[in-house]
Amino acid sequence: GGDSPLYVNGDLVGTNQSMTINPSLLPAMTQNYIAKSQFSDPALDGIVDEFRIYNRALSASEVMSLAGKPLDLINTYNELEESVILNG
């Protein structure tokens, strides 16, 4: 196992010190959600305003330097207008 830190707004808020899941070993899925499960458990009662995926683990200093910086917009989806906006 290895450490899996969780950051919120650049601050370390928790660490799973016995992470045993390697994402590359997970089966391919078509129901991938952020803040929602493909199962019947409840969705997140909150807001996720940024989500990033990297091909490597970031150091604590890299996470802190990224906190507060806006993402380069690739796309957005507004459920009320039912539209997709692409930029990039």
Q: Provide the residue ranges of all domains of the chain, joining segments of one domain with +.
A: 2-86
Strand ranges (E), the chain: 2-8, 11-19, 75-78, 83-86
Residue 88 pLDDT greater than 50, yes or no: no
Q: Greater confidence, 72 or 30?
A: 30
pLDDT, averaged across the chain? 74
Whose tokens are 């969780």? That residue is 6
Report the pLDDT value the prediction gives residue 76, as an integer from 0 to 100.
Answer: 57
Residue pair 54/1 in contact (Cβ under 8 Å)? The answer is no
Largest CA distance in the chain: 44
Rounded to an integer, the average pLDDT of 12-35 is 79
Q: Is the pLDDT assigned to residue 85 strictly greater than 70?
A: no
User: What is the pTM for the complete model shown?
Assistant: 0.52
Residue 13 has pLDDT above 70, yes or no: yes
C-alpha Rg value of the chain to the nearest Å: 16
What token pair was written down for 35? 């803040």
| pLDDT higher at 20 or 23 | 20
If DSSP codes are grouped into helix, strand and coil, which group holds residue 64?
Answer: helix
pLDDT of residue 45: 86
